[in-house]
Each structure stands twice: as structure tokens, then as C-alpha cells.
Amino acid sequence: MITNWPSREEWAKERRAPYYDRFPDTSNSLAEYATLEEIAALKAALRKRWKQLGREMRELSGKDADNVTRNLKSDRSSIQWALTLIDEGELPIHPETFSGAEDILAPLHERYEAAEIKLHERTLREIERTPIDDDAWSAELRR
């Protein structure tokens, strides 16, 4: 089997390429984005919204509002899932886990997105500084 080794220039370009798998995942630990007081307030607001949606469903019961009722049930289910994740210490970051409560979770999502941007930028700087000098090339050849 013949192996085609890259040229040094190709190797150097590859070493500094910002491929997706070189970026770490952003933490979804709720404690990194909120204080204990904020978490308690978040849970209370989500429970309040969950109850509000339940009242709306009861008001619509018996009326010809199947689609609306189905959407309200879905939103309540999403909020319940968000509360479960929060109890496990996770920030609900996927849309299916906070449908019906986007406004309540928006401040924490903004913090998460800011952390994601900061991590992405730091990783890009690290990739740009990846050694491609003679020592790194020699180590690659030995490998």
C-alpha cells in the first residue's frame, strides 16, 4: 500500500484549518449562566407559565379549538421538560425544550450564546497559533 504524504505546505495548511471537530462544545451547565437566586426565579416563572397555559386549555375545552389546544399541550410539555433539565442542572438550549417559554429563557440563552462566541473566538486563536515550525514538521514526519 502506497501512502501519499502531504507536502509541508499542505500539512501546515491542514494544521491551521478551523475544522468543526477542533471546536469544543459550549457548556450547558446552568450554574455557569445563572445564580441560585436566578435559577429559583426561573423555575417559578416557568411553573407560572405552565399553569397559565393549563388555564387557557381549560377555557378552550369544548370549543372547536383542537389545534390551539394541541399547541398549548405541546408548550406545557416543553416547559415540563425544561423544568426537568433545570432540576438536573442543565440549561434548556434546544427549542423543543422551551417552546412556550422563549421569553423567560431568553436572558440565559443570550449568556450561553455569548459564551459560545467567546469560546469559538478563543479556539480560532489557538488554531491560528498551532505550531508549523521545523520542530513540529519533524515530529509529524516521525509520527
Map 18-36 to HEC letters.
CCHHHCCCCCCEHHHCCCH
- pTM for this structure? 0.81
Cβ-based neighbour number of residue 91 at 10 Å: 25
Does residue 83 register a pLDDT over 80? yes
Rounded distance, CA 123 to CA 102, Å? 29
Cite the beta strand spans of 56-117 per DSSP E. none
Rounded distance, CA 73 to CA 133, Å? 60
Q: For residue range 52-75, what is the model confidence (pLDDT) as tens digits? A: 999 998 888 766 677 778 889 999
**Higher confidence at residue 137 or residue 66?**
137
